[in-house]
Structure 1
Amino acid sequence: MNIKWDEVTIDHLHHYEKVLPLYDSVFPIGVREPHEVFLKGLHYTKNQKPNSFRFLVGLDGEQLVSFATGHYLEVVNAGFIVYIATNPLIRGKGVGSKTLLKMEELLREDAIASGKSNLDGIILETETQEIVHTHEEKENCLKRNQFFERNHYKKVNKINYLQPPLHMEHEPIPLNLFIKGIQMDEFHRETIIKFIHAIYKEKYSLVNGINEQVLKDSLRKMELDQESS
């Protein structure tokens, strides 16, 4: 399959609406951001350089085969991959890994553009089986975790991570945190905590617009509120 890559930007929304049905069908509601948060991210990337928001789309002709979104966080020189999904009609052909590698490449370009030689790490969240509801969601959750492990991401066991609530009526959500870096053994607890604080500030505060007290409460529940970013 010859995948053509395109990026959704605030000035180029051609494939934006095509992605949303796949997004809605793949991710459980608790970890699914409102659609308008994507647009906020696209506005953000124009005004917060060298920080960035990448919205990657993979196409085979006009058929959507995959998408991924991610942020470059300059303050910790790290990438944060938010979502990645493949069209269920074409899974098993390596599209997911190709999409992940392409997103990593884009985030690496952002690090180099900011004056760094490379990314220090890439971090992402995935669902735990405890938060999914249907049999299909549980299968997707297991496959997603295995997928990241095959692509050299390692699960963080040092911190019981919580995603702040994406919807006002919800509570923080326990998720798995995976990380990938140039030298994985050097990712100590202090480094991971800095990554989490950067994600909370640059993504969940400035892009999602989550209330500051809600974010503080989520950090407190992880016992990270007194640890500096």
Structure 2
Amino acid sequence: MTIKWDEITNDNVSNLEKALEIFDRAFPVEVRETHDVFIKSLQYAKSSKPNNYRFLIGFEGERIVSFATGHYLADVNVGFIVYIVTNPLVRSKGLGTKTLLKLEELLNEDASFAGNTSLKAVILETEKQEMAHTVTEKLDCIRRNIFFERNNYKQYKNLDYIQPPLHFGASHIPLNLFIKNVQKNRISDEEINVSIGAIFREKYYIVNGIDKNILKHCLRTMGIDGEGLFD
């Protein structure tokens, strides 16, 4: 399969609706952001340099076969992958890996633009099996975890990670945190805590607009100091 890559940007949203149709079928509602968050992320990317937001889409012919989104966080030189999705109607060995590697390549370009030799690490959240509502969702969760491990992401087990609630009135969500070290020196526990703080500030506070007191509570629950992050 030959993949043609493109990006959705604040000035190029022609394929956004088609990508979000795939997105809505791919994730449980608890971890599925509202569509307006994607728009806000694209708008934020235009004014937040050297921070950045990438919305990568892959085509086979005229059909979208995959997409992935992620933030580059310049203060900590870390990439944060938010979603990676493959079209369920397409069966192609290696499509997910190709998409993941292409997004990592783009995030590395952002790191270079910010004056670094490479990313320090890439971080992502993924669902726990107990979140699944159906057998199919449970199997999808298991496959995702295996997929990330196969692509050199390691589950981080030194804290019980929680994602802040994405929807009004909902509760925070226990998730698995996976990390891929890019540089020779492994990212330390302290650096991971600081990176989680940066994710909460740039992604969940500035873009998603989650109340800072909710975010501080989530950070405290994980044993991370959130004071000063949202001032």
Task: Identify the residue that residue 94 of structure 1 maps to in structure 2.
Answer: 94
SS of 2:12's partner is coil
Whole-angstrom CA distance in 2 between matches of 1:182 and 1:36: 32
Question: Deviation of residue 187 (structure 1)?
Answer: 2.4
Residue by residue over 1:95-148, the C-alpha shift from the partner in whole angstroms, topping out at 9 and shown as x without a partner, is: 000000000000000000111110000000000011121111111111001000
Whole-angstrom CA distance in 2 between matches of 1:18 and 1:208: 22
Task: Identify the residue that residue 6 of structure 2 maps to in structure 1.
Answer: 6
Whole-angstrom CA distance in 2 between matches of 1:92 and 1:149: 19
Task: Identify the residue that residue 197 of structure 1 maps to in structure 2.
Answer: 197
Task: Identify the residue that residue 82 of structure 2 maps to in structure 1.
Answer: 82
Task: Identify the residue that residue 47 of structure 1 maps to in structure 2.
Answer: 47
Task: Identify the residue that residue 219 of structure 1 maps to in structure 2.
Answer: 219
Residue by residue over 1:154-195, the C-alpha shift from the partner in whole angstroms, topping out at 9 and shown as x without a partner, is: 000001000000011111100000000125762221011011
SS of 1:119's partner is coil
Contact 1:127-1:175 within 8 A present in 2 as well: yes
1:68 paired to 2:72: no
Question: Deviation of residue 222 (structure 1)?
Answer: 1.1
1:17 paired to 2:17: yes
Contact 2:119-2:183 within 8 A present in 1 as well: no
Whole-angstrom CA distance in 1 between matches of 2:10 and 2:95: 25
Distance change >3 Å, CA 177–CA 18, structure 1 → 2? same
Question: Deviation of residue 224 (structure 1)?
Answer: 1.3
| More displaced stretch, 52-61 vs 184-193 | 184-193
Whole-angstrom CA distance in 2 between matches of 1:8 and 1:149: 28
1:113 paired to 2:124: no
The unaligned stretches of length 5 or more in structure 1 are none
Matched positions, count = 229
The unaligned stretches of length 5 or more in structure 2 are none
SS of 1:85's partner is strand
Task: Identify the residue that residue 132 of structure 1 maps to in structure 2.
Answer: 132
Runs (4 or more) in structure 1 with deviation over 6 Å come to: 226-229
Contact 1:194-1:228 within 8 A present in 2 as well: no
Distance change >3 Å, CA 216–CA 73, structure 1 → 2? same
SS of 1:6's partner is strand
TM-score, normalising length: structure 1:
0.96
Whole-angstrom CA distance in 2 between matches of 1:85 and 1:200: 22
Letter in structure 2 aligned against 1:118: S
Equivalent residues in 2 for 1:181-192, closer than 5 Å: 181-183=181-183, 186-192=186-192
| More displaced stretch, 29-38 vs 182-191 | 182-191
Task: Identify the residue that residue 210 of structure 1 maps to in structure 2.
Answer: 210
Question: Deviation of residue 228 (structure 1)?
Answer: 8.6
Task: Identify the residue that residue 57 of structure 2 maps to in structure 1.
Answer: 57
Equivalent residues in 2 for 1:124-203, closer than 5 Å: 124-183=124-183, 186-203=186-203
Q: CA RMSD in A?
A: 1.5
